[in-house]
Amino acid sequence: MNRKGGIKLILENEKKLIILAKKGNEDAFVNLFQLHYSFLYKYLLKLTLNEETSSDLAQETMLICYEKLNSFNGDSKFSTWLIAIASRLYIDQLRKQKRETNWINQTKVALSRQLTWKAKSQGIEWSDTFTDFNNLEAEFRIPILLRHYYGYTYEEIGELLQIRPGTVKSRVHNGIKKLRKEWTFHDE
Amino acid sequence: MMNDNNQSEKIIKNLQEDWNQLEKLSTSEEPSALFLKDNLQHYQSRKKKAFYRELKLFMITAIFLLSCLSILAFQTLYIIAIIEVASIIVAPIVYFMLMRKQEGKIFDDRN
């Protein structure tokens, strides 16, 4: 079977699972979630840089998704819908953290010890840009990641994050501008 | 301007490489169906409990408010009854006294 046919089959299977899950079939919902777990987890990992936090957020996303499944109308892909929920959850979590800790201290995201160790053992090195990127606020990081890694359009990101496409565009632009400034600083 | 564009492209390329490396590093296995189902059921039972707790609170508040209102309504009726009884008794006396006063005035005028 060619690749196109395979994708079509997967999408059809996904549709069937969504219909069943909407009818209250827990097994179908679990299957549906398992199909997208890896995608969701990897997306969260790129934001949190922590395996445990990503896994916890993925679980929470599943519960919200289960609760709001009937509001999913199929206009977008199921994976996109999951990412939208996960992004909002992540932003909420950061806000909570900010409230709980000192509000002056900006919450910085750094690679977890486990991932640092794994990277070292595999000889992986990160670019300076990666550290600078992870020091950016979530409002810049999320649109940049969605635009330049997942290839979503500004309109799609706007829908995902419930902001105007113009705002998304300016956030991506300003985020990269900030990274460029740091880049020039490193070069000097 | 051109330099800025080149820099941006390089930054994005670097980031994409780092994200790819990060994807390769992640080893988390997808949770088993049993685990996910268990989580769902646990969540549902937690929600059910929260729902009943809220329902209980709602009922208690509603009963409290209703009883307050009905007591107030009954009390109002009681007060109206007292006022009516009092006016039935007091009104003829007042009327009688006013009449007496009026009569006294007439006699005084004649004298």
CB of A101 within 8 Å of any CB in chain B? no
**Total residues belonging to chain A:** 188
Helix and strand numbers (H, E) in chain B are 2, 0
- Residue numbers in A near B16 (CB within 8 A): 148-149
Which one has a higher pLDDT value, A86 or B79?
A86
Quote the CA–CA distance of B25 and A49 in Å, as a whole number. Answer: 11
Instruction: Label residue B85 by pLDDT band (50, 70, 90).
Output: very high
Question: Residue B54 pLDDT > 90, yes or no?
Answer: yes
pLDDT tens digits along B10-49: 999 999 999 999 988 887 778 899 999 999 999 999 999 9
- Residue A100: which H helix or E strand, with range? helix A78-100
Give the list of residues 6+ apart from residue A42 with CB closer than 8 angstroms, or none: B22, B23, B26
CA distance A106 to chain B (A): 22
Which residues of chain B lie closer than 8 angstroms to A37, CB-CB? Answer: 30-31
Q: Which domains does chain A have, with CATH numbers?
A: 1-108 (1.10.1740.10), 126-188 (1.10.10.10)
Inter-residue contact A49 to A111 (CB < 8 Å): yes
| Cβ contact B26–A145 (<8 Å) | no
CA A68 to chain centre: 18
| Residue A40 pLDDT > 90 | yes
Question: Hey, are the CB atoms on B26 and A42 less than 8 Å from each other?
Answer: yes
Asked which of A94-98, A106-110, B20-24, B88-92 is least confident by mean pLDDT, the reply is A106-110
Instruction: Select from A173, A179, A142 the least CA-distant residue to A157.
Output: A142
Task: Give this complex's ipTM.
Answer: 0.83
State the Cα angle at A140 between A136 and A145, rounded to 5°. 100
pLDDT higher for A127 or B108? A127
Average pLDDT, chain A: 87
* Residues 6 or more apart in contact with residue B42 via CB below 8 angstroms: none
> What pLDDT digit, counting tens, does each position of B67-83 carry?
988 888 778 878 888 88
For B46, the closest chain A residue by CA position comes to A63
pLDDT tens, position by position, A43-66: 999 999 998 999 999 999 999 999
For the entire predicted model, the pTM comes to 0.76
Residue A126 near residue B18, CB atoms below 8 Å: yes
Cα separation, A42 vs A66, in Å, equals 20
Distances (CA, A) of A44 to A84, A85, A177, B13, B49: 11, 11, 24, 20, 30
What's the distance, Cα to Cα, between the start and end of chain A in Å?
Answer: 54
Greater confidence, B77 or A156?
A156
